[in-house]
Chain A
Amino acid sequence: MHSFGYRANALLTFSITILAIMCTMGSLSDNFNSPTPTSQVQVLNINWFQRQPNGNDEVSLTLNVSANLQSMFTWNTKQDFVFLAAEYETPLNNLNQVSLWDGIIPSKEHAKFWIHTTNKYRFTDQGHNLRGKDFNLTLHWHVMPKTGKMFEDKIVMTGYRLPQEYR
């Protein structure tokens, strides 16, 4: 009954159970945090705007992104993945989401940032609907935990419009 094997087994089971409980509680504690992030994005310039040979519109933007995401960091946060997506509707598609820029925020100290950039990924449409198009810029974030459930949310910024003519 009290052999070495049984004791080792009991110890292992107990430590795994405790570890599992601690991980669960760590993940659950994220729910107590209600983040209040802020963000501002300016389109500084339309670098170029044209129809590609395959018929799809493509535009190149210069953006100024500033955000304060410090409030979403908790003790269970490993990193924060942020990206800025252009979102718009076309006659063909009821939703188009095109990621323009993304970044990984490793810690709370880096979560208040300001960046001046051109779009990192190509802003191409499916078709040629971008002239004079109203679009939203949405800052999405995905919180990757040290363990447990992942969280996501977004800030939608409205009122951006592309020019009427190619340039």
Chain B
Amino acid sequence: MSAEQIAFKAPEIMIDRATHYCPGCHHGIAHRLVGEVLTEMGLVDDTLCVGSIGCSVFIYNYLNVDAVEAPHGRAPAVATGLKRSRKDKFVFTYQGDGDLASIGMAEIVHAANRGERISVVFVNNTVYGMTGGQMAPTTLIGQKTTTCPAGRCLDREGAPIRMSEIIGGLGGTAYCERASLDSVKNIRRAKKAIRKAFEVQQQGIGFGFVELLSGCPTNWRMDAVAANKRITEEMIPYFPLGVYKDVTAEGGCACTEHGTDSKEDK
């Protein structure tokens, strides 16, 4: 009898069930990283999750935490209200690029700018997944989708929006990083980025944001390996990885520069 050793185990926070995500989709990895970070930070019992609209609306089927469903794009507003009513809890949203960077642009920008003590996981796969592959605000120039069948045209549809650059430039943001899920090395880096975006909320110093470049093989009309390659070769050059804001490195707090009436004083 050979001695079996389980070398790879999901944390308890993850609900053991068959995935509804397509083969090669990166939501599963992103969910898993969130679950691992919450577990390692000891936040499982204190976490309130705000789901959004899109494929990832079902995040509450995979994470064993309290959750509420937000209307399309409104998760940062719902999280604002939830956090204000439950200040001692850890509140995070999980949103795709159609939800966050198109219909929810006002809510994400203002929640970040207010320095809401919430954390946002932003999954950017350059396409509307659940509705069947339409053009997203992050769709790359030349990328073909069901609503830009000839490829996104800069002149007609405008340039893909770079969210981390926007969020990193806002006063209330304490941490903002863009990471990628295309390789083992980048996945390990993404986990650290998620942890930083979560820690600034726990430290009470501001808004935490992490963008994860992700694959959607089904709507990209390619296999999973080709999808990973596309992230590496096409997405990362346009959406550069890296830290866009980190007030902990600057030794500060996202809000103190704006006056003495910080939320911690109230």
On whether the two chains bind one another, the answer is: no
Which residues from chain B sit less than 8 Å from chain A, CB to CB?
none
Using a CB–CB cutoff of 8 Å, the interface residues on chain A facing chain B are none
